[in-house]
Chain A
Amino acid sequence: MKYLLISVLTALLLSANVLALRGQQVTPQDVYSCFRALNVSDLPFLINAYDKGFKDRRITPSMALTLCQRLAQSAAPIGLREGVLRVIGLALIEELPVTMLVDKALEGLAKGVALEAINDELAQRKATLSEVKALFAHKGIRISLTIRFGAVTLELTLEAVDAAITEAARALEDYVRAGQRIEDATAIKATVQRYLASNRAIPVTLVSFIEQIVSAPEWAQLAQNVANRLKK
């Protein structure tokens, strides 16, 4: 009887703990409730896109909720606020990494940048992510690829490939936005490699692999595309 009482009490305490933890964790439902509260015009699209993002582990419910809550604090028309969620939703459907986009949206909101400008910037950066992803795919860099480098064998994870796409796109955007020379392909490639090396989620083997198989003119072409988009 005594042991039974102890077991029941332990079970009760454990389940209380689990419930408390669950209470702290953000669920996709919390995110959708926030979308609903924003009165977005195309809720099914957003739910569909973000649901895919959560399942693919490209965005966490906590990240999405933070973004939604910050958008809720903005005084801009709902169309513009929904635009931010929509661009990121489109990226999730296209299986692009979205950390840079969420980050830029939060940055813009924190600095009080006009939402039109934030939306433009997100659209431009999404295009760059898409082009880097296409270039990597063309070179055979994709999830589950096994790279053999001498004695080292590495199987690429989604996290590593997404981080590499993000850093390369960020490097190209930063390079062009700083007004540096688009003709200097070597400098562009060096910048990309430096950004790749700075992110611990990208294995060193992958950084070296990219250095070997993506040429400077290929990076320069993407930088040129970034510059063309910025001119528009």
Chain B
Amino acid sequence: MHEHELEQLIKETIVQRAQAHQDRIADLEYRVVDALPDRPAALELRPTWPMRLALATAAILLFLGGFWLGGTLSDGPPCADPYVLCLVYPNAKSVSLVGQLTHWERQPMHGPDRHGIWWIRLPRDLEPGRYEYGFMVDEYHWVHDPRAREFVHTFDNKINSVLIWPPSQGDAP
């Protein structure tokens, strides 16, 4: 018996066996959906007066503390800015933006900050359009942008992220 015949027979046997019992999983999707936990929702608190007072004091202290801390906190990457692309990758030694935006040249990103965020600012005069891109982590590892709204498949079935510019309202960049 040839090697590939044996491998084929293993596969066929398992396929047949699964098919023979497939009535067991006929309604599996319904059972799974019923058993799914809810995604952790935000904590719901009914504020009482003492709590409101405590919150207000905390807010004032935080506000004053913000001045005291100075620029250290505000120097973090401005990831909410649509002109900034960010990637959280704490263990990376280097991260570059690579894509149509850079003519597929590696553009090193700033970072990481203390939360492991890498970031890069897009040019202010970016022409409207669709731009494919991704991040090259540690020189060889291709990583997509989890914040992108569109993706396309590319070489080796890897994924390019797509930046639609200008972003429509409510979209991440």
Which residues of A line the B interface, CB within 8 A?
66, 103, 106-113, 117-118, 121, 174, 177-179, 195, 198-200
The answer on a CB contact under 8 Å between B155 and A117 is: yes
**Complex contact B104–A113 (CB within 8 A):** no
Assess whether B103 is in contact with A66, with CB atoms less than 8 Å apart: yes
- Evaluate contact between B104 and A110: CB separation under 8 angstroms: yes
Cβ-closest chain B residue relative to A110: B104
Total count of chain B residues near the partner, CB < 8 A: 23
A162 to chain B, nearest CB (A): 15
Contact status B130-A112, CB under 8 Å: no
Residue from B99, B128, B155 within 8 A of A113 (CB atoms): B155
Which B residues are in CB contact (< 8 Å) with A111?
Answer: 98, 136, 142, 155, 158
Query: Which residues of the other chain, A, contact B155 by a CB distance below 8 angstroms?
Result: 107-108, 111, 113, 117-118, 121
With A109-B104, A195-B130, A198-B130 in contact, do A178 and B142 touch (Cβ < 8 Å)?
no
Q: Which residues 59-113 in B have Cβ within 8 Å of A in the complex?
A: 98-100, 103-106
B156 within 8 A of A: yes
Task: Check A106/B103 contact, CB under 8 A, given A111-B155, A177-B152, A178-B152.
Answer: yes
Main secondary structure of the interface of A (DSSP, over half): helix
Shortest Cβ distance from residue B150 to the other chain A in the assembled complex, whole angstroms: 10
B169 within 8 A of A: no
Q: Is B22 an interface residue (CB 8 A)?
A: no
In the complex, what residues of B have CB within 8 A of residue A108's CB?
155
Contact between chains at B104 and A107 (CB < 8 Å): yes
Closest 7 CB pairs of A and B: A106-B104, A110-B104, A177-B153, A113-B155, A174-B152, A198-B130, A178-B153
Roughly how many angstroms separate A177 CA and B159 CA in the complex, as a whole number?
Answer: 11
**A63 (CB) vs chain B CBs: closest residue:** B103
* Residues of chain B having any CB pair with chain A under 8 Å: 98-100, 103-106, 127-130, 132, 136, 140, 142, 152-156, 158, 160, 164
Residues of A within 8 A of B152 (CB): 174, 177-178
A118 contact set on B, CB distance < 8 A:
155
Residues of chain A with a CB closer than 8 A to B128's CB = 200
14 contacts between A and B (CB under 8 A): A103-B104, A108-B155, A110-B98, A110-B106, A110-B136, A111-B155, A117-B156, A121-B155, A177-B153, A178-B152, A198-B130, A199-B129, A200-B128, A200-B129
Alpha-carbon distance A110/B136, docked complex (angstroms): 10
Minimum Cβ distance to chain A for residue B136 (Å) = 8
- Among B104, B130, B142, B164, chain A packs the most CB atoms within 10 A around the CB of B104
Give the CA-CA distance A200 to B142 in the complex, in Å.
29
Report chain A residues within 8 Å CB of B99: 107
Q: Are B164 and A198 in touch, CB under 8 angstroms?
A: yes
A174, B153: Cβ atoms closer than 8 Å: yes
Note all chain B residues with C-beta closer than 8 A to A107: 99, 104, 132, 154-155, 160
Find out whether the CB atom of B140 lies under 8 angstroms from the CB atom of A112: yes
Residue of A nearest to B139 (CB): A112
Name A198's contact: one of B98, B129, B140 (CB within 8 Å): B129
Residues of B within 8 A of A112 (CB): 140
CB distance from B160 to the nearest CB of A (A): 8
Q: Which residues of the partner chain B approach A178 to less than 8 Å between Cβ atoms?
A: 152-153
Q: Which residue of B lies closest to A118 (CB)?
A: B155
Chain A, residue nearest B155 (CB) = A113
